[in-house]
């Protein structure tokens, strides 16, 4: 699925590394770049709650992540291309504002 809100409609350089994820301070998940290097990512609890509210979706962080995972991964990939933002541990951070921008332009 492609979302038109991403810059230039470029292909996603990051791909899903594992199906598993960790619910902690939002959701942490792993992706990999074109060279096969692991890229740690996190979507914040605030971003998941705000996105759920915008989409009239109810559920815990993991349920929101599952429902909108492709979108969240694309936003993470765009953040990787833009070299940030990152959380305090160096993980690519998907923010509420980034999800809102992509959702509005889709």
Within a domain: residue 28?
no
Q: List, for residues 19-78, the tens digit of each pLDDT value.
A: 999 999 999 999 999 999 999 999 999 999 999 999 999 999 999 999 999 999 999 999
Q: Which residue has the tokens 């953040």?
A: 79
Which region among 10-14, 60-64, 80-84, 94-98 has the lowest average model confidence (pLDDT)?
A: 10-14
What values do phi and psi take at 7, rounded to 5?
-55, 125
Within a domain: residue 8?
no
Confidence (pLDDT) at 12 = 56
Q: Domain total for the chain?
A: 1
Within a domain: residue 7?
no
Global pTM value: 0.85
Within a domain: residue 31?
no
Within a domain: residue 12?
no
Within a domain: residue 4?
no
What values do phi and psi take at 67, rounded to 5?
-70, -35
Those residues whose C-beta lies under 8 Å from the C-beta of residue 3, and which sit 6 or more positions away, are 71, 74, 102, 105, 106
Within a domain: residue 61?
yes
Residue 2 confidence (pLDDT) above 60:
no
Which region among 8-12, 37-41, 89-93 has the lowest average model confidence (pLDDT)?
A: 8-12
| Residue-range definition of the domain harbouring residue 66 | 41-87+94-106
Within a domain: residue 62?
yes
């Amino acid at each position: 699925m492609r979302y038109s809100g991403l810059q230039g409609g470029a292909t996603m350089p990051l791909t899903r590394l594992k199906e598993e994820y960790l619910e902690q301070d939002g959701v942490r998940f792993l992706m990999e770049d074109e060279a096969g290097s692991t890229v740690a990512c996190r979507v914040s609890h605030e971003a998941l709650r705000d996105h759920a509210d915008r989409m009239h979706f109810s559920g815990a962080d993991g349920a929101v992540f599952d429902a909108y995972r492709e979108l969240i991964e694309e936003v993470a990939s765009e953040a990787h291309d833009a070299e940030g933002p990152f959380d305090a541990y160096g993980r690519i951070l998907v923010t509420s504002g980034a999800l809102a921008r992509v959702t509005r332009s889709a």
